[in-house]
Structure 1
Amino acid sequence: MAALSAWFWSERFWLPHNVTWADLADPAPGLEYPKAGHLLAALPLALVIFSVRIFFERFIASFCAQSLHLQPGVGRRAQPNAVLEKVYTSITKSPDSRHLDGLSKQLDWDVRKIQRWFRHRRNQDKPSTHTKFCESMWRLTFYLCIFIYGFRFLLQSPWMWDTRHCWYGYPYQVLTPGLYHYYVIELAFYCSLMFSQFSDIKRKDFVIMFIHHLATVGLISFSYVNNMVRVGSLVMCVHDSSDFLLEAAKLANYAKYQRLCDFLFIVFSVAFFLTRLIIYPIWVLNSTMFESWDIVGPFPSWWVFNILLLVLQVLHIIWSYLISRIAVKAMLRGKVCNDVRSDIESSSEEDTPTEGLKTPAHSPKGENGENGTNGHCAASKAQAQHRNSW
């Protein structure tokens, strides 16, 4: 175990040439450099954030949703039937013609009646608009608060205005309380997402998003351990800048404020393109790749950090392309709303109509003339392509 620890914390990997961990001992009373042990504070804080979220969604967000006439629960429920319930939970949620014929003979029900039962039963498992509203309102609140905090902190930091200050004196850069709190809160939030994912709306991309959150936690921790926190704070601020706009657009969509949803989605798209395709590469990548090379020089963890940031830029380009496609299609239709259910907004099982006459693919109305469950703002579709993070 000691040999493994020594290998993992090798100074030749983590630190520039001729720098040791002993050199990064606290320089003076009341002053210190980032240490891996500091990150342990994020774990209990993540539990606190998770508890705050439960309280917020249950009392504050739920009250706001109900004031907008978004009631919890589902609409029409399937009538109790032990046979169909056993098939639904143990065999299939969308029976094919062979199962339908067998159930029709066993229950002496019309096939269309059985199809209708399964459709209602699937709808029971789908999250209500009320639930999705509460989740989005929590994310909007956190993203907006952490962005304001980080932006205000960076306004007072010299590296906000001259990124070369990220590397002057590196790695002997004292950790300030504001920077420490910014990092630990961000890390704790993404840890809390890993906890809450098991109680959130069940989505088809559960495993992918869990790996995503794990990678985000890893990258934040990585930059903290080798004291690249100054440039790391810039990366976090750039990514936080558009998160709350997407959530705001989704809230407007759930509340059926279509024009507001359209406007917020456009603002989100512009902010995303500016921050991810212009500010991030010109401001951040230029500093991590070229300014740091001139001032500090490369070393193993420097290469790893820059490769990860370049991979992130590739994802930005892919997300931007997908979001632009959504925006163009929306504008051609004259509105930002479409009827394509996103992976992010759907539950683990899609509600594929199995009756003879299917709902038109682009119809905004479902059965009985009510709003169909597939009507989502393009903001929801965009989030399927983009989870803002590192």
Structure 2
Amino acid sequence: MTSSISAWIWSEKFWLPENVSWANVEHPPPGAEYPRPRHILYALPLAVGVLLIRQLFERLVAKPCAHILQIQAGVPRRAQPNAVLERLYQSKTCPDTRQLEELSKRLDWDERKIQRWFRVRRTQDRPSMEKKFCESMWRFSFYLVIFIYAICHLWVSPWMWDTRQCWHNYPLQPLSPGQYNYYFAELAFYWSLMLSQFTDIKRKDFVIMLVHHLATIFLITFSYGNNMLRVGTLVMCVHDASDIFLEAAKLANYAKYQRLCDGLFVVFSISFFLTRLVIFPFWIIYSVMFESWEIVGPYRAWWVLNGFLLVLQTLHIIWFYLIARIAIKAIFKGKVAKDDRSDVESSSDEDVSSSNGKISSQTPKLNDRRRTSALNGETQHH
């Protein structure tokens, strides 16, 4: 039973092109090494290591930088203790009209007082600017370092300049140390993002990001197990490029360098468009769909890979629509206005935080307690 299931999972008809067998892949030439599916298991302990490195980085590097830039953690105003309201808050942070009426009768409180309690309680849970700064600085540092590493590796790789090289002699292509290091650094990082997404600042595009992380992890894992490392390194490098500018824009925003923030966000928008809506579909996806068809020929795993690449491209189009709206406001109004992907809690407050999506260096007005909110990442990543 077990052997039949294993044979079904590792079917040569699914994973490999015609005239290639597992025997060919398992016995590389002397001095060469092919990717092994069991290597993927190394990514999970590496992801835990990445999380530990992140904690040290935020504590020893990001927080001191935040203090130098005078970005304070802040102590939010605390809501008056109330067991009844707290129980409802744990299940619903914004009560509807019917619930407000019931609470008003039960507690003998005015409805506006109850609404005010929920606003203060939401503000109490809102992450500080220092926490946002530390998260963004970690992602900025990783994207910058890994992008530089990728460029150094790919610059001397023939498939960067001729994508048809990605498919010559496929899948019997040797694994280089640079490919191995790059792949597992990215895979461990995205597993760490997947795990930390439930504890980091929650955004309105949480579900989209969850789908994005799952698709990215699947694609990295799938392409490694199927030895599509050449095209895989191109995909990851193209995605890292624009994320650097997004995280840099967020850092400038938290430090209240508004002009720098606006400029970096416009640069991010342009780089996002060029890398994810031009280079990615017309260079990389074209190679996977057409050049590989011509050189290798389609097979079942080939269809799966193209399907997930198209899922990523669909997400890119959705994100660029949101990004373009913000960039246009930055160009014509002189500041990055409301971010359609900013924090969930800032979008749920009616009176206080209806203006929290404003990213501005101006002094907040006391009467409506306006606070600047963050540009959302992500993208990370990929």
When normalised by structure 1's length, the TM-score is 0.87
- C-alpha spacing 1:84/1:276, structure 2 compared with 1 (3 Å): closer
Offset at residue 165 of structure 1 (A) = 1.4
**Cα distance in structure 2, aligned partners of 1:155 and 1:362:** 40
**Cα distance in structure 2, aligned partners of 1:18 and 1:58:** 54
**Cα distance in structure 1, aligned partners of 2:373 and 2:275:** 25
2:358–2:373 contact (8 Å) kept in structure 1:
no
Q: Which residue of 1 aligns with 2:23?
A: 22
Letter in 2 for 1:226: N
Once the two structures are superposed, residues 296-355 of structure 1 have per-residue CA deviations (whole angstroms, 9 ceiling, x without a partner) of: 2222222222232233333333332332232223333x1232145x44423497222399
Once the two structures are superposed, residues 159-216 of structure 1 have per-residue CA deviations (whole angstroms, 9 ceiling, x without a partner) of: 1122221111111110001101111111111111122123222345444433331221
Offset at residue 79 of structure 1 (A) = 3.0
Q: Which residue of 2 aligns with 1:72?
A: 73
Matches within 5 A, 1:369-380: 369=367, 372-373=370-371, 375-376=372-373, 380=375
2:26–2:34 contact (8 Å) kept in structure 1:
yes
Offset at residue 101 of structure 1 (A) = 5.0
Q: Which residue of 2 aligns with 1:118?
A: 118
Match of 2:351 among 350, 353, 359: 353
Q: Which residue of 1 aligns with 2:48?
A: 47
Root-mean-square deviation over aligned CA pairs: 2.8
Q: Which residue of 2 aligns with 1:187?
A: 187
**Cα distance in structure 2, aligned partners of 1:303 and 1:139:** 32
Offset at residue 14 of structure 1 (A) = 0.9
Q: Which residue of 1 aligns with 2:35?
A: 34
- C-alpha spacing 1:344/1:270, structure 2 compared with 1 (3 Å): same
1:359–1:366 contact (8 Å) kept in structure 2:
no
2:15–2:226 contact (8 Å) kept in structure 1:
yes
Matches within 5 A, 1:188-267: 188-267=188-267
**Cα distance in structure 2, aligned partners of 1:268 and 1:307:** 27
Q: Which residue of 2 aligns with 1:388?
A: 381
**Cα distance in structure 2, aligned partners of 1:371 and 1:348:** 12
Q: How many residues align?
A: 379
1:101–1:111 contact (8 Å) kept in structure 2:
yes
1:115–1:354 contact (8 Å) kept in structure 2:
no
Matches within 5 A, 1:326-337: 326-332=326-332, 334-337=333-336
**Cα distance in structure 2, aligned partners of 1:363 and 1:183:** 35
Offset at residue 231 of structure 1 (A) = 0.8
Letter in 2 for 1:45: L
When normalised by structure 2's length, the TM-score is 0.89
Offset at residue 19 of structure 1 (A) = 0.6
**Cα distance in structure 1, aligned partners of 2:127 and 2:368:** 17
Higher mean alpha-carbon deviation, 238-247 vs 301-310, is at: 301-310
**Structure 2: stretches of 5+ with no match in the other structure:** none
Offset at residue 97 of structure 1 (A) = 4.7
Once the two structures are superposed, residues 264-309 of structure 1 have per-residue CA deviations (whole angstroms, 9 ceiling, x without a partner) of: 0011111111112222233212322222222222222222222322
1:94–1:354 contact (8 Å) kept in structure 2:
no
